[in-house]
Amino acid sequence: MQRLYRKRIILGVGGGIAAYKSAELVRRLRDQGADVRVVMTRGGREFITALTLQALSGHPVHQDLLDPAAEAAMGHIELARWADLVLIAPATADLMARLAQGVADDLLTTLVLATDAPVALAPAMNQAMWRDPATVANAALLQQRGIRLFGPAAGSQACGDVGPGRMLEPDQLAQAAADCFASGLLTGRHVLITAGPTQENIDPVRYITNHSSGKMGFALAEAAAEAGARVTLVSGPVHLRTPDRVERIDVVSARDMLAACEAAMPCDILIAAAAVADYRPEVVAEQKIKKDPQSGDGMLLRMVRNPDILATLSARADRPFSVGFAAETENLLEYATRKLVDKNLDLIIANDVANPSIGFNSEENAVSIIDRARQVTRLGQASKGHIARQLVAFIADRFHKA
């Protein structure tokens, strides 16, 4: 099972002898399905070559903060947004001290300050350095700020000493990285999620649809499963891998999607992320429609309203905690708030699909969450996986308070 499938991990490599294990760690992370980008400190490059890590990760290694080619596009900020997890292995005593003080004098320390993703350190140093009061204080301060420490382990060290300070083995670190995405916030709850577009047939070869890729809904399903929920994912036609531990039901039309959702009820939480067609052709031709020489250049297609899936489900007697999405191209918060009220929702998540960097088919998103009190919580641009985990945490918190 690839527990890190499609997770975006930045592996920071500090300047310690344990850097030789970083190469194997890249392999272990990729074996679990992660996309790995490596950032090396100057000291790290003294112990292992960038070429080795590039070959294993499949991506160029990032080394310099002031790289003119990368910084023309604000490369360090893009990396910070890209990451789902920043894992530094090995993390030396010096690197931990600089992070504790908020120093940003190289690419890796700058990334840690700039990212909203979780940060984890795998300490690796001499046993005396690990026990030194300064290191003990730095470790405690970093943990207070939410940075996780993986290890260290105890045992023989390269210098000949024996004691705590050894970096954990690559298998252990890959397991710890996967555990970062398992929150348990929705353990025992049933979450129903809709995703992707719907297709409404015109004739046997043509249909009406939209540009939804389904990526946000699938990311939410994965995040809900990581949070311990039993997840039912009802998806329109997309070409995406089903997340682990998720029951997927494939549908085509809006009416198909409504029927599948009703069959999956009851649920504790409904997250309607699908881009459902509001209208469908009134009549579906049994045969392919041919061009009519008498009709000139036009064809009249009469449309009728589809059932409103979200409004229907949120009006049930066994109503779940209901979360909708509003994909808008203008007046984002106004239209989203109107939808929140009209459909009797607990939360609505609004995103601007006119922005190509966060619109349909993009790998990233930025959203605003609106609650019943009209309070707005904004989540800045990040990968859809990271946004999904933030949303699931927010939804779980509001669900338990409801």
Which residues are known to be catalytic?
A: 159
Query: Which residues, in sequence order, are bridge partners of residue 271?
Result: 193, 323
* Cis previous bond, 90, omega within 30: yes
Could you tell me which residues come within 8 angstroms of residue 109 by beta carbon, excluding any fewer than 6 positions away?
A: 95, 98, 99, 103
CA 99/CA 147 separation, integer angstroms: 10
Q: Rounded to whole angstroms, how far apart are CA atoms 25 and 251? A: 40
Which residues does residue 248 pair with via DSSP β-bridges, in sequence order?
233
Single-letter residue type at 371:
D
**DSSP label at 62?**
B
Cα 57 from Cα 29, distance rounded (Å): 9
- Per residue in 182-207, is it b (16+ CB within 10 Å) or e — as a string? ebebbeebbbbbbbbbbbbebeeeeb
Q: Beta-carbon neighbour count of residue 108 at 10 Å?
A: 27
In this structure, what DSSP letter does residue 229 have? -
Tell me, rounded to whole angstroms, the distance of Cα 294 from its chain centroid: 53
**Long-range interactions of 336-341: CB distance < 8 A, separation 24+:** 336/368, 336/370, 337/370, 337/374, 340/370, 340/372
On whether the CB atoms of residues 97 and 133 are closer than 8 A, the answer is no
